[in-house]
A = this chain, B = another copy of it.
Amino acid sequence: MAPNNDNDDDTSLEKYNVDWTGHYRGSSSIVVRPKSTEEVSRILSYCHKRRIGVVPQGGNTGLVGGSVGIGGEVILSLEKMNNIECYGKKDGSVIRADAGCILEELQNYAAKNGNLVPVDLGAKGSCQIGGNVSTNAGGVYYYRYGSLHANVLGLEVVTPTGDVLNLGYDPVSHLKDNTGYHLKHLFIGGEGTLGVVTKVSLRCPPLPVSRGAMWVTCASLSDVVRVLTLARTDHLNEILAAFEFMDRDVLELVRAAYPSIRFPLDIGNVTPATTINNDTIIDPYSILIETHGSDNNHDREKLESFFECIMEEGLVVDGVMAQNLGQIEDFWKIRELCNPATAAMGYVYKYDISLAAIDFDSFIHDMKVRLIDASHDQQKAASSDKNLICGNWGHIIDGNLHCNIVSPNSFERDSELLKIIDEGIFEEVMKRNGSISAEHGLGQYKNEYMTRIKTPSTLRAMYDIKRVFDPHGIMNPGKYLPEPSAESSPE
């Protein structure tokens, strides 16, 4: 069977060849959109025999170039496999779906059954659950509901030889099934390099009956960390669902890009706001806290006592509690605009790192020092008068920092500058024993770091695993693992 090139015309290939970032571009001339596991199996088997590279593609919303080709590979889009099949009608606590289901549709479906899909991220309107699983997506409720390694109960995957592996998916996905090896975890975050995830079953907790939120600002990151500790342990504890931080630099970009946006503290706040030209001065650090619980009164009491405590201890400059669901959404809107606001101002060098929360402060400081130097060099070279802007936000409760470096008014990536920033980030992360990828993954961007962050024996084991499933190396070639060097080759 030859793969069926079912595109209407060539122009339609564009959306499959360019990803969300606009930066990563493949040159595939064939896109296949199978409608069943059986078709995926036939496609992979065909390509395996002929050594044809295959790039599995979900919503194409990744940030490391993992979902487009590096050359002319076949794109295998999962978009036509999008059935949702609920198991356990009584409580809907297990949801089973095809890999191509849009995350938001899955969320809506689960919500109708009173359940929450335990992964949520900005791209939910276009990302697919298979892509979420393959990239081990994190998101804003990770602290509360856990990783996909915690929540994926089963997978169906197709390996390059065309074998369909039923990894706890069929006929029923159990919360507990201790008949290993637990192979599904290789495909969670495997970025399509071992096979194609075709079906996913997820554990879904009950939809929270009560949602609360609070927006507070702090003068320093050490205060943010103390607020975080108090929220996690003493006050919000079991109702804490999200704890996000944003720094002034990124919120100034949000205000610049979306001038009509009202910030939570522009409206109702504890201390009178300082304003310049009618704009409230943005405090150094803003925190968005969300709670999920089952009793509105209890949750409100907890939030109020928490707020009193952090005010009394002088940890926050200002704060406001959401009075209704609409205000919670308004808070999140600001947080969600961080990403597009940076993108609106110029080319964004995006980083996604793990650090101990207490190290965020010195990391950001040291990166800014590096950027001042880089800006000076760049200005000399490009006669630009714009400094690089370093805007930071992220899931500080997970130790996950999204560090975004914006080159204002320049929408092209500068390869020289990229190298400088990449290396700066890498050094500052390593110095603090961090991880260079908290949730974005490796793709074709971070893969070259693997030899620097993994020991030779660990890397060798990874190559061995790759060979087990994909002996001809057809799956997502040129990504994830770097080309093996002599020393990391099999003995």
User: Which A residues lie at the B interface, using CB under 8 A?
Assistant: 88, 90-91, 93, 114, 135-136, 138, 142-143, 146-147, 149-151, 159, 163-167, 171-172, 174-183, 185-186, 188-191, 194, 206, 208-209, 229, 232-239, 292-295, 298, 301-302, 354, 356, 358, 395, 398-400, 433-442, 446, 449-450, 453-455, 457-458, 460-462, 464-466, 468-469, 480
Contact = CB atoms under 8 A, between A and B. Distances in A.
Given A457-B165, A465-B465, A468-B464, A176 B229 contact: no
Contact of A189 (B180, B302, B468): B180
A176 B438 contact: yes
A182 B188 contact: yes
A194 B165 CA distance: 21
Nearest to A206: B233
A460 to B, nearest CB: 8
A76 to B, nearest CB: 19
Contact of A176 (B135, B235, B398, B442): B398
Given A176-B438, A238-B292, 12 more contacts: A163-B460, A165-B457, A167-B458, A171-B433, A174-B434, A176-B399, A177-B437, A180-B480, A181-B186, A181-B462, A235-B294, A238-B238
Contacts of A143: 175
A91 B150 contact: no
> How many copies of this kind of chain does the complex include?
2
A293 B209 contact: no
A418 to B, nearest CB: 19
A158 to B, nearest CB: 10
20 contacts: A136-B178, A149-B150, A165-B458, A165-B461, A174-B354, A174-B438, A176-B400, A176-B438, A177-B437, A178-B441, A178-B442, A181-B186, A181-B190, A181-B194, A183-B462, A208-B237, A238-B294, A298-B298, A298-B301, A465-B468
Contacts of A91: 229, 232-233
A160 to B, nearest CB: 12
Contacts of A206: 232-233, 237
Q: From A88, A175, A358, A433, name the one whose CB has the most chain B CB atoms within 10 angstroms.
A: A175
B183 A178 contact: no
Contacts of A435: 174, 176-179
A155 to B, nearest CB: 11
A62 to B, nearest CB: 11
B142 A150 contact: no
Given A149-B149, A165-B461, A293-B238, A440 B178 contact: yes
A293 B235 CA distance: 10
Contacts of A356: 88, 172
Contacts of A468: 461, 464-465, 468
Nearest to A164: B457
Contacts of A209: 234, 237
A457 B163 contact: yes
B298 A294 contact: no
Contacts of A455: 164-166
Most buried by B among A88, A185, A469: A185
A269 B454 CA distance: 60
A90 B229 contact: yes
Nearest to A162: B457
Contacts of A446: 179
Nearest to A179: B437
Nearest to A167: B458
A221 to B, nearest CB: 14
A140 B358 CA distance: 33
B138 A178 contact: yes
A275 to B, nearest CB: 37
Nearest to A464: B468
Contact of A142 (B88, B142, B176): B176
